[in-house]
Amino acid sequence: MKYGMNLLLWSGELNDGLIPTLEKIKAMGYDGVEIPIFNLGLDYAAWGKRLDSMGLQRTGVTVRTEADNPISPDAAVRKKGVELNKQTLDCCAAAGVQTLVGPFHSALGYFTGAGRTADEWKWGVESMRATAEHAGKVGVMLGVEPLNRFEVYFLNAHADAAQFCREVDHPNCRMMYDTFHSNIEEKNVGKAIHDIKDMLCHVHISENDRSTPGQGNIRWKENFDALRSIGYDGWMVIEAFGLALPELAAATKIWRRMFDTELKLAEEGLKFMKEQVALRA
Encode pLDDT of 57-66 as tens digits: 999 999 999 9
**Average pLDDT rounded to a whole number, residues 210-231:** 97
Q: Report helix, strand or coil for 151.
A: coil
Average pLDDT, the chain: 96
pLDDT tier at 249 (50, 70, 90 boundaries)?
Answer: low
Reply yes or no on whether the pLDDT at 246 is more than 90: no
pLDDT tier at 257 (50, 70, 90 boundaries)?
Answer: confident
Reply yes or no on whether the pLDDT at 258 is more than 90: no
**Average pLDDT rounded to a whole number, residues 199-206:** 98
Reply yes or no on whether the pLDDT at 243 is more than 90: no
In this structure, how many other beta carbons lie within 10 angstroms of the beta carbon of residue 40? Answer: 12
CA-to-CA separations, 138 to 30, 59, 64, 96, 131, in angstroms, rounded: 26, 14, 20, 10, 11
d(CA 180, CA 182): 5
pLDDT computed for residue 250 by the predictor: 66
pTM of the model: 0.96
d(CA 254, CA 246): 9
Reply yes or no on whether the pLDDT at 138 is more than 70: yes
